[in-house]
Amino acid sequence: MAVDRDARLKNDLEAVSSLLSHKIRLGICVLLSRNTALSFSRLKQLLEETDGSLGAQLRKLEDEGFINVNKEFVQRKPVSWYSLTEAGRKGLLSHLEAMNRLLGR
Amino acid sequence: MVQETLESDIRYVRALVERSGSGSFPRSVYVLWAVICLLGFGMIDFAPNWTGPFWMVAGPGGGILSGILGHRAGVRMGQIDRGIGIRHALHWGGMLVVIMLAVVLAVTGFIQGTVLSQVILLLVALGWWTAGVHFDRNFLWFAAVMVFGFIGTIFDTNYTWTVIGVLLAVNLVVAALRRRKGEAENGR
């Protein structure tokens, strides 16, 4: 019985993706899941992160295929728009489900 | 330990979501409707023959312009949500269709001109109330002003419609100013 419980706990902990275990990356994905697109400056404002730190976290998510970036000019200023990919949405969902299972114990 | 970390992450994400907000109107939309309400309601008392044509243009035109202003404000802020845009279009488009059908009642002679204005005021009050429930809490107050105004029209006192227009315009402008103050405090 205890072995089953430990095995389930181990599975759930493994299901919690290491990519989204970082709270800034989790925050980015949750915000993007609720919006079509967010600009770099809006993300920076909401997450209260420095350019360097936010840029590094965004690059990690982009490298893993969780987010897309689209660069365009708004009022002659370059703007980077970030959106969640389908893989990112699925990854976030399974991460949140695993978190829920762990907290439900 | 794991549980504490997860709970801390959830608290952090929840605070982020609350901060990001969604669905409320930019200041420019408040100001636009302050002008439209001031002119349109005042017209019922001072130029009744112009009221119908004015609202036929200002109602749908103001709605389209509000959509454009809302989208532009979203782009400027760096936050685009097509889902909320579609919900706005369905909400305000539905209200417009119902108002047009009420106008058909007047055209076909089922109700008279003054009653039509009162029916439309009630329909708009309901539309603005539900907008307050789903999008922007300020609209609950604007809808309440309309309902009190509707009660005033039952007693048929002078310049009731103008008073409703002035009250709505003042409330819309005050809400716009409060939003500007809030945005300045948040550093937006």
Residues B80-139 have pLDDT tens digits of 999 999 999 999 999 999 999 999 998 999 988 789 999 999 999 999 999 999 999 999
What's the pLDDT tens digit per position in B39-83?
999 999 999 999 999 999 999 999 999 999 999 999 999 999 999
Residue A16: pLDDT band (50, 70, 90) is low
- The closest alpha carbon to B119, from B104, B137, B99, belongs to B99
| ipTM of the prediction | 0.80
Q: Give Cα separations from B33 to A102, B30, B37, B60, B63 (angstroms).
A: 49, 5, 6, 12, 9
- Tell me whether residues A23 and B8 touch, CB distance under 8 A: yes
Distance of alpha carbon A37 from the chain centroid = 13
Amino acid at A58: L
If you measure CA to CA, which chain A residue comes closest to B75?
A74
User: Phi first, then psi: what are they for B85, rounded to 5°?
Assistant: -60, -40
The residue ranking higher by pLDDT, A16 or B14, is B14
Please indicate if any CB of chain A lies within 8 Å of the CB of B72: no
Chain B residue numbers touching A40 (CB-CB < 8 A): 78
What's the pLDDT tens digit per position in A30-82?
999 999 999 999 999 999 999 999 999 999 999 999 999 999 987 788 999 99
How many angstroms separate the CA of residue A63 from the nearest CA in chain B? 22
What's the pLDDT tens digit per position in B22-40?
667 889 999 999 999 999 9
Instruction: Using the predicted structure, report yes or no on whether residue B188 has a pLDDT greater than 60.
Output: no
- Tell me whether residues A99 and B22 touch, CB distance under 8 A: no
Cα separation, B168 vs B75, whole angstroms: 28
- pTM for the whole structure: 0.81
Please indicate if any CB of chain B lies within 8 Å of the CB of A82: no
- Tell me whether residues B13 and A30 touch, CB distance under 8 A: yes
Chain B residue numbers touching A30 (CB-CB < 8 A): 13, 16-17
What is the per-residue DSSP string for B5-24? HHHHHHHHHHHHHHHH--SP
Cα separation, B124 vs B145, whole angstroms: 11
Q: Among B7, B16, B78, select the one facing A39 at the smallest CB separation.
A: B78
Please indicate if any CB of chain A lies within 8 Å of the CB of B83: yes
Residue A28: pLDDT band (50, 70, 90) is very high
Mean pLDDT confidence for B141-155: 94
Cα separation, A3 vs A11, whole angstroms: 12
Of chain A residues 19-38, which have a CB less than 8 A from chain B? 23, 26-27, 30-31, 34-38
Query: Which letter does DSSP use for residue B159 in this model?
Result: T
The residue ranking higher by pLDDT, B156 or B143, is B143
Q: Which residue shows structure tokens 């300020």?
A: B138
